[in-house]
Structure formats: C-alpha cells, structure tokens
Amino acid sequence: METFRAVVLEEAGPTLRELPVSALPEGDVLVSIAYSSLNYKDGLALTGRNRVVRRFPMVPGVDFAGTVEQSRDPRYRPDDRVLLTGWGVGERHWGGFAQKARVSGDWLVPLPSGLSLQEAMAIGSAGFTAMLCVLALEDHGLGRDREVLVTGAAGGVGSVAVAILARLGYPVTAATGRPEEAAFLEALGAQAILDRRELSAPMDKPLASERFGGAVDVVGGDTLAGLLRQMAYGTSVAATGLAGGRELHTTVLPFILRGVSLLGVDSVRTPMPRRKRAWERLATDLPRGMIQAVQQVVGLEAAMALGPEILAGRVKGRVVVDVNA
Ligand code: NDP
C-alpha cells in the first residue's frame, strides 16, 4: 500500500501521520508535493483560531508546489510542474502540509518559467497576495512621487510587497513593530522605516497631512484607519489582511474629500487570468536574491510548531516547508 506523510488536524490539534494514498480526497490531479509554505491562515488552522477549519480530519497548508503524478485533466500530464494557492485548500480540502495532494485541475497554475518549486513557495500565498496588491494599486494609477506604505512589513505579505515595490522603483516606507528588522527591510529595498505605533495611535482629527502615495495594508484595524487619514489626494490603499484586527473605525472623509480608494484584495478566489498574470509578474519583478533573502526552510514537524508564532507576529519573512525533509 502506497503511503505518504502529512500533518493531520483534528479538533484536539495537529499530528504528523503516515496515510494511505487512497485516503486523499476526490480530485482529477494527483500531485507529488515538493514544498508548501507557512501562511497566517495556516497559523489560524493549526491553533484552531477563527474556526478556519470546520471539517476534521484536515490536512492544513493553503499552498504547495510539486510535480504531477497522475492526471485525468487533459491540461496536465505526469511530470508537469505546478503550484496551487487558495481555493479553500488547507481549509475545506486537504492541503499542502503533506507529501501528496489530490485536487481539481481548475485550481492549479503551471509553474512559471524562471521559478523553481522552492522559489514558488518562498513566494507562496503571501507573496502572491503581495503581487495582487501591487497589481490593484497599479490599476488605480500608483505614482512614484510619494512614499508607498507597506504595513506588517517584516511579515510574509509585507516583506514580499516591500521587495516588489522597491524593485519597481517606488519609494517604499516599511511600517513595522520590529525595529530590529530595519536592516532586513532596508536590504529588501525599503527607503524608510516607520514605527507601526505611529499609524495606530489615537487621533482626534479625521484627517492628517497628505503623506502616502499608495499603501499595502495587511494589518487592518486601527492601523488601516490611521493610514487612511494620511493618504494623499486621489491615491489608493490595497487592504488584504487583519493581523491587527478585523474592525475598521473610520470616517468617510478620506474617500469623499480626498478621493481615496480602498481596494479589497482577496487571493483565495482570484480568477485564473489574474492569477497567471500575477505569477508571471512575480517571476519577472522579484529579484532572485530577494526571494533568497525572505525565506527560511523547515520540515513538516517544525512547521506544525510555528502556528502560534506566526499569529504572534514573530515569524520573519517567509517560511518554506520542505515536506520531504
Ligand atoms: P505574517 O504573520 O507573516 O505577517 C503579519 C505582520 O503583521 C507581522 O509580521 C507584523 O509585522 C504585523 N502584525 C502582526 N500582529 C500585529 C498587530 N497586532 N498590530 C499591528 N501589526 C501586526 O502574516 P502574513 O503576511 O502571511 O499575512 C498577513 C495578513 O494578510 C493576515 O491577516 C492574513 O490573513 C492576510 N492575508 C490575506 C490574504 C487574502 O487573500 N485576503 C492572503 C494572504 C494573507 P511587523 O512585525 O513588521 O510589525
């Protein structure tokens, strides 16, 4: 009987197990996984927070990259290299913290030329989301004349967003609660470091001076409310996360007096043409050295233990999970 190793989530928590391949869920493509990665949502799943997983047993891991082993989908053949992010994988359908996955061919993206399987997961769901934020800002006329703010900059989405925006020539200001990571953020291309408390501090006035020419926000809550007050006329904010809270207490003034746009960015159900465009841009716009700089590599067992760490904001950059280590 052919078996594979996987992290299996039960209501009591995660364990590492050997499972028969026949236990995999229905799907038309069987993938031999090389790498997955640790994302904020995996932290929620591994710790049971926010009930992102409601069906047990579940294999967590919202993304993976690997090689097709068997396929009933005419678009994919054995040995094709593929990646997957989102679609509820690792939440409702068994995910990437495993040596194998069986999924719908509709969810797969062919590995873009120029990226290795490991590089694809050093980018992973978080980096893909960062690129979606950049695309959203570009579509709304992002300019290079003012600071572009990235919040949660030392984390996964934030660090990749800093690297992409800097590479594209935007003056990036990185907001972080970890001043000790200033050198890391400057190496990724940040021109200025901002203490994140400055954004979330209570303020009497609904508007402050116009400062930022664009923003990628992964934090939400008071941080998003604070940065909205400081957006320059006609600029946009790509909002994609809730690491600091899911509530948003603000006024309509930035929108109706300064024409600021709040752009929601979701990576889970992104339509396929935009997915492919984002991955092509990641393959060209993110310097290889930057991909190396943001990543650390761990095995399945270590990944399991990092759930509480990523939720506490203690993980730097991106964690690649080598499922065969
Ligand atoms: P990380 O944990 O890697 O990064 C989050 C960063 O946010 C931390 O590193 C920290 O940055 C900052 N942060 C954490 N807690 C707080 C807090 N209480 N107040 C202010 N800042 C805080 O997570 P990811 O980058 O993987 O994900 C970031 C967010 O984006 C999450 O909310 C996640 O759910 C969301 N996301 C959404 C997606 C979508 O499709 N909508 C897809 C991917 C992610 P620092 O130390 O620099 O201050």
| CA of residue 63 to ligand 1 center, whole Å | 17
Which token pair is 275? Answer: 């997915």
Distance between CA atoms of residues 48 and 25, nearest Å: 22
Asked, as a colleague might, if the bond just before 57 is cis with ω within 30 of 0, I would say yes
pLDDT at 319: 98
Nearest residue by C-alpha to atom 23 in ligand 1: 40
**Contacts for 189 with CB less than 8 Å, ≥ 6 apart:** 162, 163, 165, 166, 167, 172, 290
Testing ligand 1's pocket by substitution, the residue of 219, 237, 311 carrying the most ligand atoms inside 8 A of its CB is 219
| CA of residue 37 to ligand 1 center, whole Å | 15
Half-sphere exposure of 256 (CA within 13 A, CB side): 5
Give the chain's end-to-end CA distance (angstroms, integer): 22
| CA of residue 150 to ligand 1 center, whole Å | 11
Testing ligand 1's pocket by substitution, the residue of 185, 198, 218, 316 carrying the most ligand atoms inside 8 A of its CB is 218
| Ligand 1 atom closest to residue 132's alpha carbon, by position in its atom list | 40
- 260 DSSP β-pair partners: none
Residue 229 Rama label (left phi>0; alpha psi -120 to 50; beta): alpha
What one-character DSSP code corresponds to residue 313?
T
| Ligand 1 atom closest to residue 223's alpha carbon, by position in its atom list | 20
Number of other CB atoms surrounding residue 104 within 10 Å: 15
Ligand 1 binding residues, C-beta < 6 A:
39-41, 125-126, 129, 152-158, 176-178, 196, 218-219, 223, 240-244, 265-268, 310, 313, 315
- Taking every pair of C-alpha atoms in the chain, what is the biggest distance, in angstroms? 67
pLDDT at 203: 87
Tens of pLDDT along the chain (325 residues) come to: 899 999 999 999 999 999 999 999 999 999 999 999 999 999 999 999 989 999 999 999 999 999 999 999 999 999 999 999 999 999 999 999 999 999 999 999 999 999 999 999 999 999 999 999 999 999 999 999 999 999 999 999 999 999 999 999 999 999 999 999 999 999 999 999 999 999 999 988 999 999 999 999 999 999 999 999 999 999 999 999 999 999 999 999 999 999 999 999 999 999 999 999 999 999 999 988 999 999 999 999 999 999 999 999 999 999 999 999 9
Q: What are the distances in angstroms from CA 100 to CA 61, 103, 288, 320?
A: 12, 10, 27, 16
Q: Which residues of 189-223 are buried (b: 16+ CB within 10 A; e: fewer)?
A: bbeebbebeebbeeeeeeeeebbbbbbbbbbbbbb
Q: Which residues of 286-299 are buried (b: 16+ CB within 10 A; e: fewer)?
A: beeebbebbbebbe
| CA of residue 155 to ligand 1 center, whole Å | 6
Return the C-alpha torsion angle 225, 197, 46, 180, nearest 10: 140
| Ligand 1 atom closest to residue 185's alpha carbon, by position in its atom list | 47
**Contacts for 92 with CB less than 8 Å, ≥ 6 apart:** 54, 55
